[in-house]
């Protein structure tokens, strides 16, 4: 798994005991709470183009949720610029924190190690919770943040897992190989959800699903992310050398509280991408009806998870996942710690799911949540369609470690951890040392007053008496190049010396 990967998470935000909350205003003010002494958005949007499609064209428009027009009209009344509404911050640990469609979003720095990414994902929770505490003190009301994907009123917000991969793979091959995996991955990667939902709201309350996002996918492939969402997203923003790389922008996954679930979700996907790059995935994996299947698997109360392949044969989600696993075991060298861990745990999870999913309460989010809800239903004499359960579902995702139900399980030693508090604390303050995120974060840490702007693969410095100088990190997807740039940055005492030494080394 020698590739860069990262996670973007949009958080739900509200105020305790408040019915009418302006989420855009609250998100902006929350993010400003991160650095009240020097709130200076520096993100450079020129490197982003959400209209560019991997299939070789540029979309004319993007699909929007039916409510989006109302949100846009409200934004026009705020008397705030686009930059002020986005409130886009770059953090010294290499991450990005900003307001995205009425949700505070935390994008981890690029990581190369699986457990490193888990630590940075958890660091994002703690950074946002600290912002919530500061904002709550100023407001005199508690700001509540939820790491989930639905408000039960027809709105879904994303958790996107991203992977740098080879541009050599034709998009049609990528789609055919990754789509069956994405559809079935939810049997271990889902966060669990009470009820069935559409963009119009909750349609059925008495069903417990595997995944929060599965209700909201309506096309197989598309560049869109907000409405008519695709199982495979085609946005073409590699944030690296476009001749060599593409970025798999996975929008189909849930936001996970469990460290283990995050690791198995990202780790298995990274190995499947390895197989795709080696052209190991056979054609018969193709599903007959992916859009129907992704919902049916999530809602299947028998946990048999059976569906039809395009060739007419019936198969279970567990068995198709076993096919991916068998290919990984045969063709991928388990010489790295990460790969070895994923191969062992992938098999263990599938075995347990086949035997009794409830044996995985300590590892998988959807199982842990179901166990909590079943316990509460038994104690209170409720039924699965009781509205109370939606509140408990939401509280599972409360990132306040003193209040969230997931963290009650963690405090009781009932869920498995993969990283320590010390590793999470280090991730709050430090970027991964072996990726370009180090160059981004440490540039800001050392030379903040002279940093004019930043994007994922570029840092622009102001130099006295000269035009701004941009340092491209386009080639830093390569580990050796990243190490070289990071070493030069560590040695530089001034921006001028940094720029000069980078030029001499090129």
Residues taking part in catalysis: 100
Q: How do 96-99 and 104-107 pair as beta strands?
A: antiparallel
Of the candidates 149, 154, 170, the residue with the CA atom closest to the CA atom of residue 369: 149
CA atoms in the 13 A half-sphere facing the CB of 224: 18
308 forms beta bridges with 314
Q: Could you give the CA distance from residue 235 to residue 47 in angstroms, rounded to a whole number?
A: 13
Output DSSP code: residue 129. H
Q: Crossing angle of helices 337-355/114-139, nearest 10°?
A: 80
Looking at 253-404, list the stretches that DSSP marks H as alpha helix, in order from N- to C-terminal side. Answer: 259-277, 290-299, 317-331, 337-355, 365-380, 388-396
Output DSSP code: residue 216. G
- CB proximity list for 417: less than 8 A, separation 6 or greater: 259, 260, 410
Number of helices (H), then strands (E), belonging to the chain: the values are 16, 19
Q: Could you give the CA distance from residue 413 to residue 415 in angstroms, rounded to a whole number?
A: 6
Of the candidates 170, 119, 102, the residue with the CA atom closest to the CA atom of residue 6: 119
424 CB neighbour count, 10 Å cutoff: 20
Contact 190, 305 (CB under 8 A): no
Phi-psi sector, 243: left (phi>0), alpha (psi -120 to 50), beta: alpha
Kindly report the length of the chain: 506
Q: Could you give the CA distance from residue 270 to residue 163 in angstroms, rounded to a whole number?
A: 7
330 CB neighbour count, 10 Å cutoff: 9
Q: Could you give the CA distance from residue 442 to residue 498 in angstroms, rounded to a whole number?
A: 12
Q: How far apart are the first and last CA of the chain?
A: 28
Phi-psi sector, 195: left (phi>0), alpha (psi -120 to 50), beta: left
Element (H, E) at 8: strand 5-10
Of the candidates 364, 342, 158, the residue with the CA atom closest to the CA atom of residue 250: 158
Contact 258, 406 (CB under 8 A): yes
Q: Could you give the CA distance from residue 94 to residue 360 in angstroms, rounded to a whole number?
A: 34
Distance of CA 379 to the CA centre of its chain: 35
Output DSSP code: residue 46. G
């Amino acid at each position: 798994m020698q590739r860069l990967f990262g996670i973007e998470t949009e958080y739900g935000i509200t105020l305790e005991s408040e019915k009418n909350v302006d989420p855009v205003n609250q998100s902006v003010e929350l993010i400003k709470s991160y650095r009240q002494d020097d709130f200076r958005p520096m993100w450079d949007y020129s490197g982003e183009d959400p209209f560019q499609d991997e299939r070789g064209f540029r979309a004319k428009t993007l699909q929007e949720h039916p409510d989006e027009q109302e949100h846009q009209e409200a934004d026009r009344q705020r008397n705030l610029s686009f930059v002020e509404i986005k409130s886009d911050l770059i953090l010294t640990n290499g991450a990005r924190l900003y307001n995205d469609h009425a949700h505070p979003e935390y994008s981890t720095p690029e990581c190369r190690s699986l457990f490193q990414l888990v630590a940075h994902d958890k660091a994002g929770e703690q950074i946002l919770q600290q912002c919530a505490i500061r904002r709550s003190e100023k407001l005199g009301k508690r700001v509540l943040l939820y790491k989930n994907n639905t408000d039960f009123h027809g709105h879904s917000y994303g958790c996107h897992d991203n992977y740098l991969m080879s541009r050599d793979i034709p998009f049609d091959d990528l789609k055919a190989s990754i789509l069956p995996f994405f559809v079935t991955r939810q049997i271990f990667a889902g966060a669990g959800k009470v009820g069935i939902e559409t963009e119009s709201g909750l349609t059925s309350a008495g069903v417990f699903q595997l995944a929060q996002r599965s209700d909201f996918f309506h096309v197989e492939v598309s560049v869109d992310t907000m409405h008519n969402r695709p199982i495979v997203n085609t946005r073409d923003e590699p944030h690296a050398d476009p001749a060599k790389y593409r970025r798999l922008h996975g929008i189909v996954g849930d936001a996970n509280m469990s460290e283990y679930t995050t690791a198995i979700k990202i780790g298995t996907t990274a190995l499947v991408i390895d197989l795709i790059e080696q052209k190991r995935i056979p054609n018969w994996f193709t599903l007959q009806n992916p859009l129907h299947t992704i919902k049916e698997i999530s809602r299947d109360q028998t946990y048999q998870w059976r569906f039809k392949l395009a060739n007419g044969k019936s198969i279970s989600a567990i068995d198709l996942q076993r096919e991916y696993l068998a290919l990984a075991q045969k063709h991928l060298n388990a010489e790295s710690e990460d790969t070895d861990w994923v191969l062992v745990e992938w098999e263990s999870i599938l075995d347990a799911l086949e035997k009794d999913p409830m044996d995985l309460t300590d590892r998988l989010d959807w199982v842990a949540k179901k166990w909590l809800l079943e316990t509460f239903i038994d104690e209170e004499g409720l039924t699965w369609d009781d509205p109370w359960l939606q509140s408990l579902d939401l509280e599972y995702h409360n990132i306040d470690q003193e209040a969230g139900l997931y963290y009650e399980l963690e405090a009781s030693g009932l869920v498995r951890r993969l990283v320590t508090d010390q590793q999470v604390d280090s991730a709050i303050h430090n970027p991964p040392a072996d990726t370009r995120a180090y160059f981004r974060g440490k540039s800001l840490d050392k030379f903040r007053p002279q940093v004019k702007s930043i994007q994922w693969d570029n840092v622009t410095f102001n130099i006295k008496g000269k035009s701004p100088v941009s340092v491209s990190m386009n080639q830093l997807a390569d580990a050796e190049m990243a190490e070289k740039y990071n070493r030069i940055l560590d040695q530089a005492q001034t921006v001028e010396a940094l720029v000069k030494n980078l030029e001499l080394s090129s």
